[in-house]
C-alpha cells in the first residue's frame, strides 16, 4: 500500500522540486579596467564603492578571481565563451580599423547567451561589446542576445550608440553614456518578464577617458578617478534597487567583475602590475556574487574562480547541458560560491598575453616564462614600468602567491619539482591551444596575418 502511494505521488514530488528550482534571473555587471585595488571592500582607501561593497557583504567575494586576458577584447571573448581567448580564436584586442575588419567572435563559438537561450531566457546586452559586429555571427544579436544597446567597442570621438542593428545616437558625449545605459537597464529590469532574463551590462568605466558625469564630478572629494568609479558604483546601486523594486531579489543573481587590471589612473594594490601584462594585478580582479537567501552572506574566499566559469555556472543554474561541440576552460565553481567547498576545481591557470604563454599557475605557485619583445602583442611591446611588468624576460621566475601575492620574491632555485611540473604543463597547453610559434590541436585560428602588430 505504502509503495503504491509512493508511486502515485513521486511524479508530483518531482514536479514540485523542479518548480522550487526556478531558473534565476542573471545580471552580470562588467566593469572596464577596474583594478583589484579600485574597490573599497578590496581595501582601497582612495575610492568610495558602497553599493559594490554591499553586494559583497551580503554575498560572496573572491580574492582570487581571474580573467582570461589582461586586455578588453580577449577578456570579453573568454567571459562569453568560457574558453581561453587562444582557444576561441580571439586572443587580440580588436579595433574598428582596416586591419581588424575581418576579426570578431566566430559564429561557431557558443556564448553564455546562446546557452541561456536554450533554457528559455530572454537575453539583453547593454554597453561595450568589443567582439566584432561586421564579421558573420559576431554581432550581439547573432551571438544569442535578443536586444542590444551600446557602443561597438571603446569610446572614441564621433562613435555611435547602437540599438540592436541601428544607429541610435550619433556622436554621444562620453560622460552621458553611463547614465543612458543605467536608465535602459533599470527600465528593462522593471518590465514585466514572462521568462527568466539575462542582462549583460558592460560598462566603459573605468577605461579612459576618465570623464565622470557632471553629477559626479567632485562628489567623492578624492579626485576625478574616484568620482568616475563612484559613478559606476551608483549605477550598481540603481540596478540593485530596480531589482528590489521589481520584487525579484530572491530570484536574481547579480555578478560584479572587471575585465582586466587597471591602467595608470587605477590601482591593483596589493598586487603587482596592471593592464597589458600577465602579473596578478593584470588578471586578478574584483569578483562578487550576490543572491539573497541562496548565496550565504559575508563570504570571502581565496579559492580560484575564473570569469570563464560563468558559462558553466549559469548553464547549471538554468538547467541546460554544457555545449558538446567546444572544449570549455571554465568550470562549474558554484559549490565554491555557495560555500559548500573551499578548494577550487581548477588545477592550473594559464596566463596568455596575445599569442604568448607567459605564466602558468597551480594552486599557490606561479611561474613566469621567458619572453621576447617580438613575441608580445602590440599593447605590451613597449613601456616597461609600474603597470607593465616583464614585457621581456630572459629567465623563468617562480612566485608563491600564498605568501607573496605581490610577486616579489623569486623562488625559482628553491623548488625544482614545482618548476618541472609547471614547465610540463606549459608545454602541454601550448600543444593544445598554441602560442606564437605553434598552432594548437584545439585552437580556433585567429585569422590575423601579423597578430602582434597594431595596425
Ligand atoms: Ca578593459
For residue 447, the model assigns a pLDDT of 87
CA of 450 to the centre of ligand 1 (A): 22
Least confident interval from 54-58, 382-386, 422-426: 382-386
- pLDDT cut 90: percent of the chain above it: 89
> How far is it, in rounded angstroms, from Cα 279 to Cα 291?
31
CA of 260 to the centre of ligand 1 (A): 5
> How far is it, in rounded angstroms, from Cα 273 to Cα 343?
26
453 pLDDT exceeds 90?
no
CA of 427 to the centre of ligand 1 (A): 28
For residue 455, the model assigns a pLDDT of 67
Would you list the domain boundaries of the chain?
Answer: 23-337, 349-433
CA of 122 to the centre of ligand 1 (A): 26
86 pLDDT exceeds 50?
yes
CA of 75 to the centre of ligand 1 (A): 8
Looking at every residue in the chain, the average pLDDT score rounds to 94
CA of 46 to the centre of ligand 1 (A): 20
Helix/strand/coil (H/E/C) assignment for every residue in the chain: CHHHHHHHHHHHHHHHHHHHCCCCEEEEEEECCCCCCCCHHHCCCCCCCHHHHHHHHCCEEECCEECCCCCHHHHHHHHHHCCCHHHHCCCCCCCCCCCCCCCCCCCCCCCHHHHHHHCCCEEEEEECCCCCCCCCCCCHHHCCCCEEEECCCCCCCCCEEEECCEEEEECCCHHHHHHHHHHHHHHHHHCCCCCCEEEEEECCCCCCCCCCCCCCCCCCCCCHHHHHHHHHHHHHHHHHHHHHHCCCHHHEEEEEEECCCCCCCCCCCCCCCCCCCCCHHHHECCEEEECCCCCCCCEEECCCEEHHHHHHHHHHHHCCCCCCCCCCCCCCCHHHHCCCCCCCCCCCEEEEECCEEEEEEECCEEEECCECHHHCCHHHCCCCCCCCCCCCECCCEEEECCCCCCCCCCCCCCCHHHHHHHHHHHHHHHHHHCCCCCCCCCCCCCCCCCCCCCC
CA of 128 to the centre of ligand 1 (A): 10
For residue 10, the model assigns a pLDDT of 46
Q: Respond yes or no: is residue 130 known to be catalytic.
A: yes
Pick the CATH number of 349-433 from 3.40.50.1370, 3.30.1120.10, 3.40.50.720, 2.60.40.3140: 3.30.1120.10
433 pLDDT exceeds 50?
yes
Q: Which residue among 95, 100, 130, 203 is the active-site one?
A: 130
- pLDDT cut 70: percent of the chain above it: 95
23-337 and 349-433, same CATH topology? no
CA of 32 to the centre of ligand 1 (A): 4
CA of 198 to the centre of ligand 1 (A): 22
CA of 414 to the centre of ligand 1 (A): 36
pTM exceeds cut of 0.85:
yes
Structure confidence by residue, pLDDT tens digits, 308-356: 999 999 999 999 999 999 999 999 999 999 999 999 999 999 999 999 9
CA of 424 to the centre of ligand 1 (A): 31
Whole-number Cα distances in Å, 32 to 175, 210, 266? 15, 12, 11
Q: Respond yes or no: is residue 446 known to be catalytic.
A: no
15 pLDDT exceeds 70?
no
Whole-number Cα distances in Å, 96 to 80, 135, 171, 208? 20, 12, 16, 17
For residue 3, the model assigns a pLDDT of 52
For residue 11, the model assigns a pLDDT of 46
The correct answer on CATH 3.40.720.10 for the domain covering 23-337 is yes
CA of 404 to the centre of ligand 1 (A): 25
CA of 358 to the centre of ligand 1 (A): 19
Structure confidence by residue, pLDDT tens digits, 158-202: 999 999 999 999 999 999 999 999 999 999 999 999 999 999 999
Q: Which residue among 72, 203, 290, 346 is the active-site one?
A: 72
Amino acid at each position: 500500500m505504502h509503495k503504491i502511494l509512493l508511486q502515485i505521488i513521486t511524479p508530483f514530488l518531482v514536479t514540485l522540486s523542479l518548480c522550487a528550482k526556478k531558473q534565476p534571473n542573471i545580471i552580470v555587471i562588467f566593469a572596464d579596467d577596474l583594478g583589484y585595488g579600485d574597490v573599497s571592500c578590496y581595501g582601497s582607501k582612495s575610492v568610495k564603492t558602497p553599493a559594490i561593497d554591499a553586494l559583497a557583504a551580503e554575498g560572496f567575494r573572491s580574492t582570487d578571481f581571474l580573467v582570461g586576458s589582461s586586455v578588453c577584447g580577449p577578456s570579453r571573448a573568454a567571459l562569453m565563451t568560457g574558453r581561453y581567448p587562444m582557444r576561441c580564436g580571439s586572443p587580440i584586442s580588436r579595433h574598428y580599423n582596416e586591419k581588424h575588419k575581418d576579426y570578431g567572435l566566430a559564429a561557431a563559438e557558443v556564448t553564455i547567451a546562446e546557452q541561456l537561450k536554450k533554457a528559455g531566457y530572454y537575453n539583453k546586452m547593454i554597453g561595450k561589446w568589443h567582439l566584432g559586429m561586421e564579421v558573420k555571427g559576431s554581432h550581439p544579436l547573432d551571438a544569442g542576445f535578443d536586444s542590444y544597446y551600446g557602443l561597438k567597442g571603446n569610446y572614441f570621438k564621433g562613435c555611435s550608440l547602437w540599438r540592436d542593428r541601428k544607429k541610435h545616437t550619433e556622436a554621444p558625449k562620453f560622460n552621458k553614456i553611463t547614465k543612458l545605459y543605467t536608465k535602459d537597464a533599470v527600465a528593462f529590469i522593471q518590465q514585466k518578464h514572462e521568462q527568466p532574463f539575462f542582462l549583460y551590462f558592460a560598462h566603459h568605466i573605468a577605461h579612459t577617458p576618465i570623464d565622470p558625469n557632471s553629477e559626479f564630478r567632485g562628489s567623492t572629494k578624492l579626485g576625478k578617478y574616484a568620482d568616475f568609479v563612484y559613478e559606476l558604483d551608483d549605477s550598481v546601486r540603481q540596478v540593485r534597487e530596480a531589482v528590489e523594486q521589481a520584487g525579484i531579489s530572491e530570484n536574481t543573481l547579480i555578478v560584479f567583475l572587471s575585465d582586466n587590471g587597471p591602467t595608470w589612473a587605477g590601482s591593483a594594490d596589493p598586487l603587482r602590475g596592471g593592464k597589458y601584462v600577465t602579473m596578478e594585478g593584470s588578471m586578478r580582479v574584483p569578483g562578487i556574487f550576490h543572491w539573497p537567501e541562496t548565496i550565504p552572506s559575508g563570504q570571502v574566499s581565496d579559492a580560484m574562480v575564473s570569469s570563464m566559469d560563468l558559462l558553466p555556472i549559469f548553464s547549471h543554474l538554468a538547467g541546460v547541458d554544457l555545449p558538446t561541440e567546444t572544449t570549455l576552460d571554465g568550470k562549474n565553481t558554484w559549490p565554491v560560491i555557495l560555500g559548500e567547498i573551499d578548494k577550487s576545481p581548477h588545477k592550473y591557470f594559464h596566463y596568455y598575453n596575445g599569442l604568448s604563454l607567459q605564466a602558468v599557475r597551480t594552486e599557490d605557485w606561479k611561474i613566469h616564462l621567458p619572453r621576447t619583445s617580438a613575441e608580445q602583442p602590440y599593447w605590451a611591446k613597449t613601456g616597461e614600468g609600474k603597470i607593465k611588468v616583464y614585457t621581456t624576460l630572459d629567465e623563468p621566475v617562480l612566485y608563491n602567491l600564498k605568501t607573496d601575492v605581490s610577486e616579489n620574491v623569486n623562488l625559482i632555485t628553491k623548488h625544482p619539482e614545482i618548476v618541472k611540473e609547471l614547465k610540463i604543463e606549459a608545454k602541454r597547453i601550448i600543444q593544445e591551444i598554441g602560442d606564437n610559434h605553434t598552432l594548437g590541436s584545439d585552437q580556433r585560428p585567429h585569422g590575423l596575418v601579423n597578430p602582434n602588430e597594431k595596425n
